[in-house]
């Protein structure tokens, strides 16, 4: 699993991806967008934003990186993804990158993720977490029942799902306001209030 821009409980679903961790524990890069497809013939690319701070990410002059095919780290075979022009379009953006001048050029970067250095990203708000911060957290119910640890996070609609493994079981639990009631980053613990039957699935 990989970090992205902050996630809120019950936030929109997003495609899965990976990023490159740094020695300090935080990733060196996080994913902020996905190059979906060409638009027209003059080098515009339709970008699906994967950040809650798109208004400060997709601006002319902002420096991003194209990921490798696996979405793990910047691809050394591509130039840096500096934004030349951008305009809002539907639920995303039409972006022109420096050095990408044609539809063929966009096809070369199609399906790549856009990465931004973690140190340049805005810190999460009070009710947000970075995805990578969830990994390895212990999960406990309000009644004190230990369920296991978070092994993975899946981007699904209408809400992300956390994959909790422990006591010989694997459970998928929606990351929603109704279920996730508290977390403690210092203690690495997530507290949930599961509805009847959820833990029996």
Which of 94, 120, 146 represents a domain boundary (last residue)? 120
Rounded to a whole number of angstroms, the distance between the first and last alpha carbons of the chain is 23
C-alpha–C-alpha distance, residues 139 and 58, integer Å:
35
The answer to whether residues 116 and 143 belong to one domain is no
Which of 60, 89, 120 represents a domain boundary (last residue)? 120
Could you tell me the pLDDT band of residue 6, with boundaries at 50, 70 and 90? very low
The answer to whether residues 115 and 152 belong to one domain is no
pLDDT of residue 113: 92
What is the arithmetic mean of pLDDT over 16-31? 58
In a domain, 2, yes or no: no
The answer to whether 47 and 33 have CB atoms below 8 angstroms apart is yes
* Average pLDDT value over all residues in the chain: 86
Could you tell me the pLDDT band of residue 25, with boundaries at 50, 70 and 90? low
pLDDT of residue 19: 40
In a domain, 125, yes or no: no
Counting the structural domains of the chain, the total is 2
The answer to whether residues 23 and 69 belong to one domain is yes
Could you tell me the pLDDT band of residue 94, with boundaries at 50, 70 and 90? very high
- CATH number at 52 reads 2.40.30.60
In angstroms, the Cα distances linking 17 to 14, 34, 48, 68 are: 9, 10, 13, 11
- The more confident residue out of 119 and 70 is 119
For 56, the enclosing helix (H) or strand (E) is: helix 54-57
Give 195's strand partners: none
Single pTM value for the model: 0.70
And the tokens for 93? 């953006």
- CATH number at 161 reads 2.30.30.240
The answer to whether residues 91 and 151 belong to one domain is no
In a domain, 15, yes or no: yes
The answer to whether residues 92 and 173 belong to one domain is no
Q: Give the structural domain span for 94.
A: 7-120
The answer to whether residues 34 and 93 belong to one domain is yes
In a domain, 126, yes or no: no
């Amino acid at each position: 699993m990989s970090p992205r821009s902050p996630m809120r409980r019950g936030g929109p679903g997003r495609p899965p991806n990976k990023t490159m961790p740094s020695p300090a524990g935080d990733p060196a890069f996080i994913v902020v967008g996905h190059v979906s497809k060409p638009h027209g013939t003059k080098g515009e690319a339709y970008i699906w934003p994967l950040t809650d701070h798109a208004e400060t990410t997709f601006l002319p002059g902002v420096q991003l990186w194209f990921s490798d095919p696996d979405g793990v780290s910047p691809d050394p075979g591509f130039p840096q993804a500096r934004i030349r022009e951008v305009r809002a379009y539907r639920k995303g953006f039409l972006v022109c990158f420096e050095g990408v001048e044609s539809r063929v050029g966009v096809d070369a970067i199609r399906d790549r993720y856009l990465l931004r250095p973690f140190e340049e990203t805005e810190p999460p708000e009070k009710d947000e977490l970075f995805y990578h911060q969830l990994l390895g957290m212990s999960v406990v119910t309000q009644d004190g029942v230990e369920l296991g640890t978070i092994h993975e996070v899946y981007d699904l609609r209408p809400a992300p799902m956390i994959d909790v493994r422990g006591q010989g079981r694997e459970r998928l639990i929606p990351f929603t306001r109704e279920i996730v009631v508290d977390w403690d980053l210092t203690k690495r613990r997530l507290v949930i209030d599961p509805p009847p039957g959820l833990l029996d699935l």
